[in-house]
């Protein structure tokens, strides 16, 4: 009997990029029977006739007091629909803006051939920005997301690794929900645990889900061959807001998972960033010329370190962007501590332009 795969997509609307991405996922039909669960979308929209036979539309209504993201709420609803109606052997979580490479499809095909649906395991992928833009500045920022010291996108390298309770190697390159595949046993375990952590409305919904699975004994194979294409933000304003969200969510993650080495490292990074900003402000008041000189040296040092680590000469210019991101990260972390996790209208406007 052919295995069955349910592909869950938490979408806000159905548009051409989603159509193209879904068409690439349907290549899995060669090795399995697939169903696509679209959670959300606007009334009156429909997928093309070629995709309609795969798709199961699930309505989603935001609550009246909604503030923040609802991606995890949509994922939980899609997971529930998959288990109740489609009886899958495997569940693939993806996003509307994610498209698989041929390597990702081959990796999934091998994994479902070897994996036991009743074993609590998962296969994780990682992002790369492969979109070429007309603006040189936008392309520069996209490369920054993949090659900076604080990467927006994970990188499993050439070897990959296994995340589990016994091998809890929490590096900076953690799996992302937009490229995560479960066995049936893992999908049921997550559903019984209440689904994807809905309290992460700002960011880190990926990390919170992965940590939840690890603590319940799931082994996650982070495979370098599972590579997906992904369009990153490409303006300084978007990057600043992204790292502001990251700082807020890092503090939330540390509070939710105090035993996590990843959370402890993020706490240390936030403390160092805030201390550096404080000392810089004091020095700017006492000795402005020294402060400016030290700031320039720090930017050059950040750039050289980025260039050395990434192997890209142009990464020397990442220094100012990196510094801006550190400031936003520290501000977001401090904002969460001040608000103690309450996401109000001010935070909603600041983080989401709501």
257-298 per-position pLDDT tens digit: 888 888 888 888 888 888 988 898 899 899 999 989 998 898
Nearest 5°: the CA angle 219, 225, 228 is: 100
End-to-end CA distance of the chain: give it in Å, rounded. 48
Packing angle, helices 318-339 and 261-286, rounded to 10: 110
Q: Rounded distance, CA 162 to CA 109, Å?
A: 19
Give the integer Cα–Cα distance in Å for 291 and 283.
6
Q: pLDDT of 73-131, one tens digit each?
A: 999 999 999 999 999 999 999 988 888 999 999 999 999 999 999 999 999 998 877 66
Cβ proximity of 264 and 187 under 8 Å: no
Structure tokens at 144: 């920054």
Rounded to whole angstroms, the Cα distance separating 170 from 162 reads: 10
39 strand-pairing partners: 10, 58
**Do 331 and 277 meet the contact criterion of CB atoms below 8 Å apart?**
no
Query: What CA–CA distance (Å, rounded) separates 241 from 247?
Result: 10
Q: Is the dihedral of CA 209, 213, 216, 222 positive or negative?
A: negative
E strands, 85-205, are 90-94, 98-100, 121-128, 161-163, 179-183
Please say whether the beta carbons of 153 and 126 come within 8 A. Answer: yes
* 33 token code pair: 């029977």
pLDDT of residue 148: 65
10: pLDDT strictly greater than 80: yes
pLDDT at residue number 156: 74
3-state secondary structure of 98: strand
């Amino acid at each position: 009997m052919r295995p069955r795969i349910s592909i869950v997509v938490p979408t806000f609307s159905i548009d051409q990029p989603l159509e193209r991405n879904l068409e690439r996922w349907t290549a899995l039909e060669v090795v399995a029977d697939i169903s696509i669960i679209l959670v959300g979308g606007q009334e009156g929209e429909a997928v093309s006739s070629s995709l309609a036979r795969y798709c199961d539309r699930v309505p989603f209504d935001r609550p009246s007091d909604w503030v923040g993201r609802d991606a995890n709420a949509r994922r939980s609803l899609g997971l529930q629909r998959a288990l109740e109606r489609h009886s899958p052997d495997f569940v693939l979580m993806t996003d509307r803006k994610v498209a698989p490479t041929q390597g990702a499809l081959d990796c999934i095909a091998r994994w479902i051939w070897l994996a036991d649906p009743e074993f609590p395991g998962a296969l994780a992928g990682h992002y790369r920005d492969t979109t070429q833009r007309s603006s040189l500045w936008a392309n520069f920022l996209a490369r920054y997301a993949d090659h900076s010291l604080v990467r927006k996108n994970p990188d499993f390298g050439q070897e990959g690794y296994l995340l589990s309770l016994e091998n809890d190697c929490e590096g900076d390159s953690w799996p992302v929900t937009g490229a995560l595949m479960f066995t049936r046993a893992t999908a049921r375990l997550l559903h019984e645990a209440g689904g994807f952590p809905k309290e992460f409305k700002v960011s880190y919904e990926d990390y919170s889900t992965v940590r939840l699975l690890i603590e319940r004994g799931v082994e996650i194979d982070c495979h370098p061959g599972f590579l997906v294409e992904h369009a990153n933000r490409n303006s300084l304003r978007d990057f600043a807001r992204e790292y502001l969200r990251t700082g807020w969510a890092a503090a939330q993650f540390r509070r939710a998972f105090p035993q996590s080495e990843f959370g402890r490292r993020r706490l240390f990074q936030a403390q160092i960033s805030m201390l550096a900003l404080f000392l810089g402000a004091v020095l700017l008041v006492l000795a402005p010329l020294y402060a400016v000189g030290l700031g320039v040296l720090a930017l050059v040092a950040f750039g050289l370190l980025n260039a050395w680590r990434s192997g890209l000469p142009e990464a020397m210019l990442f220094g100012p962007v990196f510094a801006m991101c550190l400031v936003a990260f520290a501000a977001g972390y401090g904002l969460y501590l001040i608000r103690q996790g309450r996401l109000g209208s001010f935070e909603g406007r600041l983080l989401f332009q709501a």
